[in-house]
Amino acid sequence: MGLTETDILRGTETDRSGYFRITDLEPGRYYVRAFRLGFSEVSQVFVLEGNEAGLVAVELVLPRAVLELEGFEVEAERSRERTRFEEEAGATVREITGAELKTIPGLAEKDPLRAIEVLPGVVSTSDFTSAFNVRGGSADQNLILLDGVPVFNPFHLGGLFSVFNGDMVGRAELLSGGFPAQYGGRVSSVLTVESDAGTGDFGLDAAASLLSSRVAVGGGLPESWENGMGLNTARWRVSARRSYFDVLLGPAVDFPYTLTDLQGVFEAWTKGGSRFAISAYTGADRVDFAGSSSEEDGFPLKVDWSWGNDVVGATWSTPWARGGGGLDLRASFSRFDNGLFFPDFGDTELASFIDQSDLSAEVHGRIARRWLFRTGLAASRYSFDNSFKSGGTTFAAGSGDGWLSSGFFQAEYQRGTDWILELGLRGEQWAPSAGEDVFFLAPRIAVKRFLAGGEGAVKFATGRFSQFLHSVRDEEIPLGIDVWVLTGDRAPYVTSNQVQAGVEWFLADDWFLSVEGYGRTFDGVITVNQAEDPNDPLDDFLQGDGYSYGADLYLRKDGSDLSGWITVSWLQARRTFPDPLLGVFPAPENEIAPVFDRRLDVDLVLRKTLPWWGVESGLRWNFGTGLPYTRPLANFGYYGPELVSGGRLKWGGEVPEEEGDGPGEEAFGLILGPKNGERYPAYHRLDISFRKVFEKDWGYLAPYLDILNVYNQRNVLFYFYELEKDPAVRSGVSMFPVLPTLGLEIRWR
Amino acid sequence: MRRTSSWTGFGRVLGLLPLFAAAAGCELTEVVTEEAEDAVVAEIYVYIDGNEVTARALLHRTFTQNQAPPAAEIVISRPADGRTARLSADAPEACTFGLQPDRIVGSCYTAGGDEIGWVRPGDILEVRADLGPDGSLRGRTTTPADFTVVQPAEFGGDGVPTCRIEPLTNIQFRWTSAEGTWAYLTETLIQGLDEISGDSTVANLVLTGLALSAADTTILYPANYGVFDRFDLDQEVSRLLQQGLPGGTEAQVEILAADRNATNWNRQGAFNPSGLIRIPSLQGEGTGVFSAGVVYGFRVVAATAGSPEALDENGVEFPSCGPPIDPSNPPS
């Protein structure tokens, strides 16, 4: 917006419904221009009279048009960062766009969750998992939203890949701290993944990688349909993805694993300006060793194992007042289930299930000239059911449900480019089916003081956060599937007090710097009680607490030629739990460094269009100091009584019957050193990617090559201490070796 | 004899995922590391089987250059009345079938008869093992209460109590709850399967069943046995046993009410890539387990009613172990 058609006095970005606001304007005549990818630019003049109480409503309608893509994208990136800087005080938000995602090197495919690892404050404990930890929080303390709907276990193949198809991702935003009162449910971070609904014009994307093949189709509705339904415009996009490990590996080995995803999004705007959106996802992993040939192929058991998410959400947003106010209604459902069965043994099942249904309403608008507000109510129902049964006995089980009723009020005061003050209060009532009701009040306060004429700012935020569910997955195992439990009489709820302060600065037009320090407490975290009493249904989990503190630096450069960022994250995290492995009852408490306690983590991400044939390139270099592990001090032969032989003891292993039969089955017990008292060597890895777009009349072809771990660094996944050998040796396995992967994207339009 | 049982071998199912991760990575160069800490490992078990009480203590060492058999003075006591039993040094065969792998050198101490016959179900027991220069180990346990088997309800035979099961059917064993029990560990030694399957390795097959908690007092026989052996056992034999024992086979069954210490020592603790973590119940200069349990045993023959195999040496038919049960729909 400016005083003439060409100058830029102020800028902003609309929300998803197309609403925008620009504050603190002097009376006068202004030009407002609006532009968006896929639409023609539109400008309009308006006059702000001195007696209009500061409010003028301007409606702009953008006709569809083909726009120059590259230049537009770069400008939009700068705008979002700048808009957040100017309009938000507390939340620490970092974003990866769909375009950035395409040039961040990935494992076979572009994966938003793996890409999140390059953001400040984020730690990944292994190459083998897309799970991540933010600022000393556990992986289950990240709220992962697909178009606003929580996804419980957003991973395929035990965490190797995320469920998010890179082709369908518009952007991924990570709120790593200071999030305002409208966010609840998890205490560590909020990751929002927004689907790309396309432009409304028909288009078809197809791609093939070493992991899967995928296709996405999008378009709009015929004009007659739109008119018939009272719509101004509508667009939709659906995608499907399937792996083909089973096909590729078929000639060599029977590997009956498949992953499938089906995702869709639909958005429509009414002629009255309301927006309606539906987003849905269903995905499944399946390991099917149920065929009769499994034994011949070396796998002794018939296994039928499947797991996956089903997610659907609908949102209705409508304007309700001048100044950009509106009402948002949302309903959603999310479910994750996991079942492992053995067809030959009906007495065995490992099953895990959780679902969440939500209804919410939010109202936002303006209280006074400088005050904005957002308030809302929500009701959520959760239920879970886990069981591990075999041989007629139950090894572990739990089930229950609960209602979470919540309300929040968030107010923002902004005084031009001087101050922003955010005050929020969130109230939550948790009513579990087993256990006492909990009422939790969570105040949130944030303040930002702009400096240097609005080019820099200092910021501070503090708040309380709560969480009423846990995953009991052992984060020390690199691949795994979340098993969720609700809080109640068996598990406490998590509370977290958090404070953060920092500086943000636009050093030049295309440089942005952020330095932020933080401190967090975590009360009510749990771990599995390895010494639980089978007679006590309430001691399955051990309650603990923890804390973390650290600092994150983020330096970003935007530009059409070279762009990227560097992050430096320093973290100290601790957890305190009773230690049942000592065999002392009651178990003494033990403060440990959790497996994600990476003291220093550095990420460098660069994107550059190379001078040769317009090849787009990406580079990521990651350095992290060593993660903690528990070193064995000794091991010993393990014996057990054989009752049918009068209780005499027998070694639990098997000695090979003949020379050359291999080592036999070994049975050794360990005596451990201090829990997580040692650290693996530092981790570092360089990844690069190349992508070339061949423009065609009908669309484009884009082959790409990603190379992970270019210099083949042997980063340690595990050490194996074989102390029974003479001399004792330490071996181990590394994470990814150098790993090139190829793929091809095709777009028809 | 083929022993395939392990309490918690089922963890291998969950262990597949990290194994996959390991397989996808690369092996690191093997380096010699410092020698392990030298410590004594003691596995001390007291069993009450009817009126007979036996105590066994197998002592050995962690893997170091020092593999001298630990010498100990081991005393089990009942604090309630101060009664004590001192275990005597015995031949290794009295404690174990053999020390494996070869590097292990152990020592064995036992007590039986009147020496320790005063131990009763429900007793709180303590143990102290003085290891001389190796220090000492101490432990404590509560013996589970007594229990009785209620199904099979009747037994025949002159020696070992014996009942009869119809071939290729399942029955349900039931017993009374024993207070203080953390788990009922039950084993069966099945003989004669080799003649049916043609596989000599299953001539004497030992399988384990488990019922967790004092209140879990049922198990299907034989379908629920071998729960930890399903990755190892020949799948044809395994599937056959889901239907029942083939005719002509017979089996020994033992049911143990196990205490907290045995349960913790036998189940796998937290994940560590180097091996299994046992939760000890001996404290001091070393590690190990001190456990006391109550055992009940009987014999089962798989034979059709009226057949010669169903008769004892006096020509009297063994009583039925119980009504056949459909494994897919067991009684609750």
A560-612 pLDDT, tens digit each: 788 899 999 999 999 999 999 988 888 999 999 999 999 999 999 999 999 88
The band of B17, judged by pLDDT with boundaries at 50, 70 and 90, is very low
Rounded-to-integer distance, Cα A116 and Cα A122, Å: 7
Q: What is the pLDDT of residue B15?
A: 42
CB atoms B37 and A633 under 8 Å? yes
Q: Is residue B138 within 8 Å of residue B282, measured between CB atoms?
A: yes
Q: What is the pLDDT of residue A103?
A: 78
Three-state SS sequence of A47-94: EECCCCCCCCCCCCCCCECCCCHHHHHHHHHHHHHHHHHHHCCCCEEE
* Count of beta carbons in the 10 Å neighbourhood of residue A684: 15
Q: What is the pLDDT of residue B74?
A: 97
Q: Is residue A410 within 8 Å of residue A375, measured between CB atoms?
A: yes
Among A295, A653, A732, beta carbon nearest to B28: A732
Rounded-to-integer distance, Cα B202 and Cα A590, Å: 47
Rounded-to-integer distance, Cα B57 and Cα B291, Å: 10
User: Is the pLDDT reported for residue A152 higher than 60?
Assistant: yes
User: Residue B74: which of B258, B290, B295, B292 has the closest Cα?
Assistant: B290
Give the pTM. 0.88
The C-alpha of A340 sits at a distance from chain B's nearest C-alpha, in angstroms, of 10
Element housing A144 (H / E): strand A142-146
Closest residue on chain A to B289 (Cα): A583
Tokens of A687: 């990844």
Q: What is the pLDDT of residue B81?
A: 96
Report residue A485 CA to chain centroid gap. Answer: 19
Q: What average pLDDT does the segment B253-260 reach?
A: 98
Report residue A418 CA to chain centroid gap. Answer: 33
Q: Are strands B183-191 and B204-212 parallel, antiparallel or unpaired?
A: antiparallel
Closest residue on chain A to B330 (Cα): A392
Rounded-to-integer distance, Cα A507 and Cα A503, Å: 12
Among A478, A646, A725, beta carbon nearest to B18: A478
Percent of residues, chain A, with pLDDT higher than 90: 58
The C-alpha of B245 sits at a distance from chain A's nearest C-alpha, in angstroms, of 16
Amino acid at A45: V
Query: What are the phi and psi torsion angles at A704 (to 5°)?
Result: -140, 155
CB atoms A344 and B235 under 8 Å? yes
Burial B162-187 (b: 16+ CB within 10 A, else e): bbbbbbebbbbbebebbebbbbbbbb
Q: Is residue A27 within 8 Å of residue A48, measured between CB atoms?
A: yes
Phi-psi region of A135 (alpha: psi -120 to 50; beta: other; left: phi over 0): left
User: Is the pLDDT reported for residue B308 higher than 50?
Assistant: yes
CB atoms B254 and A476 under 8 Å? no
Rounded-to-integer distance, Cα B307 and Cα B303, Å: 7
Helix (H) and strand (E) counts in chain A:
5, 45
Q: Is B179 on the interface with A (CB under 8 A)?
A: no
User: Is the pLDDT reported for residue A644 higher than 90?
Assistant: yes
A contacts of B229 (beta carbons < 8 Å) = none
Window A:243-272, CB contacts with B under 8 Å = none
Size of interface A-B (CB pairs under 8 A): 302
Amino acid at A162: S
DSSP letters spanning A421-478: EEEEEEEEEEEESSS--EEEEEEEEEEEEEEGGGTEEEEEEEEEEEE-EEE---TTSS
Q: Is residue B145 within 8 Å of residue B122, measured between CB atoms?
A: yes
Q: Are strands A648-651 and A639-642 parallel, antiparallel or unpaired?
A: antiparallel
B45-100 pLDDT, tens digit each: 999 999 899 999 999 999 888 778 889 999 999 999 999 999 999 998 899 887 66
A8-17 pLDDT, tens digit each: 667 777 765 6
Q: What average pLDDT does the segment A509-529 reach?
A: 94
* Count of beta carbons in the 10 Å neighbourhood of residue B2: 20
A51-61 pLDDT, tens digit each: 555 567 777 77
Query: What are the phi and psi torsion angles at A135 (to 5°)?
Result: 50, 45
Q: Is residue A147 within 8 Å of residue A194, measured between CB atoms?
A: yes
DSSP state of A625: P
The band of A72, judged by pLDDT with boundaries at 50, 70 and 90, is very low
A contacts of B295 (beta carbons < 8 Å) = 643, 647
Q: Is B174 on the interface with A (CB under 8 A)?
A: no
Q: What is the pLDDT of residue B72?
A: 92
Percent of residues, chain A, with pLDDT higher than 70: 91
A55 compared with A423, residue with greater pLDDT: A423
Q: What average pLDDT does the segment B194-217 reach?
A: 91
DSSP state of B23: H
Among B22, B33, B101, beta carbon nearest to A730: B33
> Which residues, listed in sequence order, are joined to residue B296 by a DSSP beta bridge?
B255
Q: What is the pLDDT of residue A322?
A: 59
User: Residue A516: which of A465, A479, A571, A478 has the closest Cα?
Assistant: A571
Helix/strand/coil for B197: helix
User: Is the pLDDT reported for residue A545 higher than 80?
Assistant: yes
Strand locations in B4-69 (E): 31-32, 40-49, 52-61
Radius of gyration of chain B measured on its C-alpha atoms: 22
DSSP state of B192: S
User: Is the pLDDT reported for residue A463 higher than 90?
Assistant: yes
User: Is the pLDDT reported for residue B277 higher than 50?
Assistant: yes
Q: Is B194 on the interface with A (CB under 8 A)?
A: no
Mean pLDDT of chain B: 88
- Specify the residue for token string 């040692």: A678
User: Is the pLDDT reported for residue B2 higher than 70?
Assistant: no
Q: What is the pLDDT of residue A323?
A: 61
The C-alpha of A252 sits at a distance from chain B's nearest C-alpha, in angstroms, of 16
Rounded-to-integer distance, Cα B57 and Cα B46, Å: 9
The band of A300, judged by pLDDT with boundaries at 50, 70 and 90, is low
CB atoms A727 and B254 under 8 Å? no
Q: What is the pLDDT of residue A64?
A: 65
Q: What is the pLDDT of residue A17?
A: 61
The band of A628, judged by pLDDT with boundaries at 50, 70 and 90, is very high
Helix/strand/coil for B111: strand
Query: What are the phi and psi torsion angles at A598 (to 5°)?
Result: -95, 115
Q: What is the pLDDT of residue A74?
A: 41
Q: What is the pLDDT of residue A38?
A: 62
Q: Is residue B237 within 8 Å of residue B199, measured between CB atoms?
A: yes
Q: Is B77 on the interface with A (CB under 8 A)?
A: no
The C-alpha of B143 sits at a distance from chain A's nearest C-alpha, in angstroms, of 15
Radius of gyration of chain A measured on its C-alpha atoms: 27
The C-alpha of A158 sits at a distance from chain B's nearest C-alpha, in angstroms, of 7
Rounded-to-integer distance, Cα A90 and Cα A420, Å: 9
Q: What average pLDDT does the segment B209-220 reach?
A: 96
B contacts of A639 (beta carbons < 8 Å) = 43, 58, 96
Window A:328-347, CB contacts with B under 8 Å = 340, 342, 344-347
User: Is the pLDDT reported for residue A434 higher than 90?
Assistant: yes
A712-737 pLDDT, tens digit each: 999 999 999 998 888 899 999 999 89
Q: What is the ipTM of this complex?
A: 0.90
User: Residue A110: which of A177, A39, A161 has the closest Cα?
Assistant: A161
Helix/strand/coil for A224: helix
DSSP state of A166: G
Helix/strand/coil for A152: coil
Percent of residues, chain B, with pLDDT higher than 90: 66
The band of A655, judged by pLDDT with boundaries at 50, 70 and 90, is low
CB atoms B96 and A346 under 8 Å? no
CB atoms A644 and B187 under 8 Å? yes
Q: Are strands A716-722 and B149-151 parallel, antiparallel or unpaired?
A: unpaired
Q: What is the pLDDT of residue B13?
A: 40
Q: Is B51 on the interface with A (CB under 8 A)?
A: no
A24-42 pLDDT, tens digit each: 777 888 888 887 766 778 8
Among B18, B219, B295, beta carbon nearest to A643: B295
Q: What is the pLDDT of residue A667?
A: 77
User: Among A111-115, A116-120, A173-177, A377-381, which range has the highest average pLDDT?
Assistant: A377-381
> Which residues, listed in sequence order, are joined to residue A713 by a DSSP beta bridge?
none
User: Is the pLDDT reported for residue B303 higher than 60?
Assistant: yes
